[in-house]
Amino acid sequence: MQYILLVALLAIPVLVFGFRRKSGQESEESEDRGVFLEDVQIRYVNLLFGPLSPLGKPEKITLHHTASTNDTVQSIHAYHKSKGWAGIGYHYVVYANGEVWQGRPSDKKVAHTEMQNEGNIGVCFVGNFDTHSMPQKQLEVGKALIKQIQRTKGIKTVTFHKNLKSTNCPGKNFPYSSFLQLS
């Protein structure tokens, strides 16, 4: 009995340090793969839309914030439907943790900027950038996403909601210059 106890006690540090070393290696690996952000993983959830019309020729990307800290692609979808829209008005939603979710299909016209939705790709960052600054992870993934959209859609222009309409969106602390120096 005492022998078993001794073996068990000796095993604890081995297990603890063994796991530590393993998780250390894993985080090193994911840091090494930093460039994989060039190819952003888009997550999908099944959203039900009303009638949608085609996007038109892609011309620009417009950035927004949710002005809240805890929205999800589903909650934005429900909110926009409650306003009588066909569904979520943005093509992509970037969470604070760096997850990117597909909202409206990217070949369909959105409803994020009144009268200026033709060929306009809408990207919304979850957060209130009037009161907070953007977490590093969200910024990195957001920039990679915009570059990916520019590359795949063949467009350069990045603008912000407040340039198209009288609004503070996406907030005074939004890292504007980071998104204007992508290419």
Dihedral sign, Cα of residue 76, residue 156, residue 151, residue 118: positive
Q: Does 169 bind Zn ion (CB under 5 A)?
A: yes
Q: Does 64 bind Zn ion (CB under 5 A)?
A: yes
If the CB atoms of residues 64 and 77 are measured against Zn ion, the closer one turns out to be 64
Residues contacting Zn ion: total by CB under 5 A: 3
Residues 77-106 that bind Zn ion (CB under 5 A): none
If the CB atoms of residues 141 and 160 are measured against Zn ion, the closer one turns out to be 160
CB of 33 to Zn ion, least distance (A): 32
Residues 30-49 that bind Zn ion (CB under 5 A): none
Q: Report how far residue 122's alpha carbon sits from residue 159's, in angstroms, rounded to the nearest whole number.
A: 10
Q: Does 76 bind Zn ion (CB under 5 A)?
A: no
If the CB atoms of residues 150 and 174 are measured against Zn ion, the closer one turns out to be 174
Among 102, 123, 105, 125, CA closest to 60 = 123
Q: Does 161 bind Zn ion (CB under 5 A)?
A: yes
If the CB atoms of residues 77 and 161 are measured against Zn ion, the closer one turns out to be 161
Strands 60-65 and 100-102, bridge-based pairing: unpaired
SS3 assignment, position 180: helix
Angle at 100 between CA 175 and CA 45, to 5 degrees: 150
CB of 16 to Zn ion, least distance (A): 48
103: enclosing H helix or E strand: none
Sheet holding 42-43, edge to edge: 42-43, 100-102, 92-94, 120-125, 60-65, 157-160
If the CB atoms of residues 108 and 112 are measured against Zn ion, the closer one turns out to be 112
The residues that touch Zn ion, with contacts defined as CB under 5 A, are 64, 161, 169
